[in-house]
Structure 1
Amino acid sequence: MNNSYTLLDSGHFRKLENVGGQIMVRPCPQACWAPSLPKKEWNKAKDIYLRSNKGGGQWKFNSLPEQWDIVYHNQKMILRPTNFGHLGVFAEAASNWQWLKDQSNSNIKALNMFAYTGGSSLAMAKGGAQVTHLDAAKGIVDWARLNADANDISNIRWIVDDVNRFLDREIRRGNKYDALVMDPPSYGRGSKGEIWKIEDDIMPYLERCKAVMSDKPAFILFTCHTPHFTPKVLDNLIYTVWGENLTTESGEMTIPQDSSKRTIPSGFYTRVTFP
């Protein structure tokens, strides 16, 4: 589909993608194998993102539109090329969208943290949940709101705040949520310059999360792109904080490659359901 996302090939630490009809090459540190398509196919790319050793990077030809959209796993997503090589959607995340939608209903209050441009928020809202979308970057939340508008979704509350500060406020107010979606970064800054480092902050953060869960929790989706936070690590963190009276299903998030058995591993997940 020209208006969707397809991974065409990967190898030599890069990936060749068709993103809504825009052919591009972006870095892919996991792809240590050789490409399967000939070089002439890779040369069809309209643009290539090049990383800088000093951080960030740039688009080589700067030929992509300022904005376009795709329909990916039944969700319309607005895309923009950023200075970090991102587009506004991480293809591997879509593997969890259907699960989130299936778990959601109109009786569920859900909190999506580190929520980026809202793919998970849209999925839960489509399932009927009342969703609170939380991210520290105002520009990203504004982008997520555009995605919600594009999907005719209105049952989302938008919050720009540091996640720990927001959780502390919700704990004081006694506000509770039945479902949590968590995608903590390895490192980040809050809306007022707060420093987040996952190794130092993950346990206090999860304790805060437990404190805002209702007495009858429905589900948790815990995803992470930090290399050593493997599925078993995510499971152990969940069991340490919530106890063992729950069910987890965990694994790698991947991007399937077109016409090939190869997939690109891109982070880890654990899905949690409660009795």
Structure 2
Amino acid sequence: MQQLLIPPFGEYELLDTGNFEKLERFGSYVTRRPEPQAFWRPSLAEAEWRRADASFLRDARSDERGEWRLRPGMPERWTVTYSSERMRLRMRLGLTSFKHVGIFPEQAANWEFIHEQCTRLAAGAAAPRVLNLFAYTGGATLAARAAGAEVTHVDSVKQVVTWARENMEASGLEGVRWIVEDAMKFVQRELRRGSRYRGIVLDPPAYGRGANGEKWVLEESLCQMLECCAQLLEPSGAFLVLNLYSMGLSSTLARTAVRQAFGPPREEQWGELCFADRGGKQLPLGTYYRFVR
């Protein structure tokens, strides 16, 4: 079933979008940063945008890197809370040179799905084993762990894994297995070991480098990754979540690639993750595909 998901997130708000930028509130602080999909006009006056506590200035020599301009009193690190009926997660935010702040709020919709599935699986005899690949600062990891899953968190950047561990501790959780390694190398080794998981989460970038310089190009590597994961996932009752952020790659493409690797599932959902700003303009922030076997 195709769906547009707009998750509730009390400490996050998309205030305005336009002129290839977005204005957002994370907790008590407002940020202004580039958004290549917001090609329309803003709803708020420029004076409102200039009141942002932190504004990202792109480096003229790079499409990705830049620096933040901070207003007085704006910290470089702060914490937000995600609360729902199912869980309460605390996540540390920080201003990075790649315009990111350490959280993708739209993923809260997938956190709820992951928690629900892990709770279902944990009602059985043993805690479900969940693998989170390209796991970044660990929102999905925390959601699974909060539901009682045994979680393996894999990312190739040591500093990001440390950040995720801080989020685990801030959320009052423990017991996550942390792996700093290239995701493809890890899943291939798990195949040789005969490992199996009840849930797999994939959040791959468009481009990336592994811990030892391994090259990742989404369109070239994703199908191989899915074929490996299809062998790692338990054949019955298990779940998968795939996120794609690359512009031009639709959820229909994600569905086609996953179904080729895994076969038709018992239940499936696919579509866009989205927020609407105060002017009612909906901004898609990624595509997703998820299923239950």
After TM superposition, the score normalised by the length of structure 2 is 0.88
Are the aligned partners of 1:91 and 1:255 in contact in 2 as well (CA < 8 Å)? no
Matched, 1:60 2:69: yes
Structure 1 counterpart of 2:286, from 260, 267, 272? 267
- The equivalent of 2:31 in structure 1 is 24
Q: In 2, distance between residues paired with 1:102 and 1:155?
A: 19
SS at match of 2:291: strand
1:85 and 2:99 are equivalent in the alignment: yes
Q: State the alpha-carbon separation in 2 of the partners of residues 123 and 256 from structure 1.
A: 24
Gaps of 5+ in 2: 1-9
Alignment length, in residue pairs?
271
Amino acid at match of 2:78: W
2:23 is the counterpart of 1:13: no
CA contact (8 A) 2:55 2:70 kept: yes
**What SS class does the counterpart of residue 247 from structure 2 fall into?**
coil
| Structure 1 runs of 4+ with >3 Å offset | 61-64
Residue 138 of structure 2 contacts residue 167 of structure 2 at CA under 8 Å; is this kept in 1?
A: yes
Note if contact 1:111-1:181 (Cα within 8 Å) is conserved in structure 2.
yes
Match of 1:76 in 2: 90
Q: 1:254 aligns with which of 274, 279, 291?
A: 274
1:62 shift after superposition: 7.1
Q: 1:30 to 1:231 in 2, by over 3 A?
A: same
CA positional deviation for 1:170: 0.8
- The unaligned stretches of length 5 or more in structure 1 are none
User: 1:76: how far off?
Assistant: 1.1
Residues 244/150 of structure 1: CA separation in 2 closer, same or farther (3 Å cut):
same
Q: Which residue of 2 aligns with 1:160?
A: 180
SS at match of 1:88: coil
Partner of 2:47: 40
**CA separation in 2, counterparts of 1:228 and 1:247?**
25
Per-residue deviation, residues 149-197 of structure 1 (Å, max 9, x unmatched): 0011113211111111111111111111111000111110000000001
Q: Are 1:117 and 2:137 an aligned pair?
A: yes
Equivalent in the alignment of 2:109: 95
- Measure, in 2, the Cα distance between the counterparts of 1:216 and 1:125: 21
Mean CA deviation greater in 73-82 or 159-168: 73-82
Q: Secondary structure at the match of 1:244?
A: coil
* 1:65-101 deviations in Å (ceiling 9; x for gaps): 1311011344211011111111100122112111111
Contact map agreement 1:222 1:271 (CA 8 A) in 2: yes
Contact 1:255 1:265 in 2 (8 A): yes
Partner amino acid, structure 2, of 1:59:
W
Q: What SS is found at the alignment partner of 1:29?
A: coil
CA distance in 2, matches of 1:104, 1:124: 6
Q: Which amino acid aligns with 1:262?
A: K
2:234 corresponds in structure 1 to 214
User: What's the offset of the Cα at 1:260?
Assistant: 3.4
- The answer as to whether partners of 2:133 and 2:154 remain within 8 angstroms in 1 is yes
Distance across 2 between alignment mates of 1:199 and 1:7: 30
Tell me the distance in 2 between the aligned counterparts of 1:241 and 1:25.
Answer: 39
Q: Is the 8 A contact 2:265 2:292 kept in 1?
A: no
Q: Could you say which residue in structure 1 is the equivalent of 2:245?
A: 225
Q: How far, CA to CA, are the matches of 2:153 and 2:184 in structure 1?
A: 14
TM-score (norm 1): 0.94
Tell me the secondary structure at the aligned position of residue 241 of structure 2: strand
- Aligned-residue Cα RMSD (Å) equals 1.6
Q: What do the CA deviations read for 1:8-54 (whole angstroms, capped 9, x no partner)?
A: 11111111112221122111111111111223321211221022242
Q: 1:10·1:16 contact (CA, 8 Å) conserved in 2?
A: yes
In structure 2, the CA distance between the partners of 1:192 and 1:247, relative to structure 1 (3 Å rule), is same
Instruction: Measure, in 1, the Cα distance between the counterparts of 2:248 and 2:50.
Output: 35
Indicate the SS of the match to 1:69. Answer: strand
Aligned-partner SS, 1:123: helix
Contact in 2 for aligned 1:179/1:217 (Cα 8 Å) = no
| 2: CA distance, partners of 1:184 / 1:165 | 14
Matched ranges for 1:127-138 at <5 A: 127-138=147-158
1:193 and 1:243 mapped to 2: Cα distance? 32
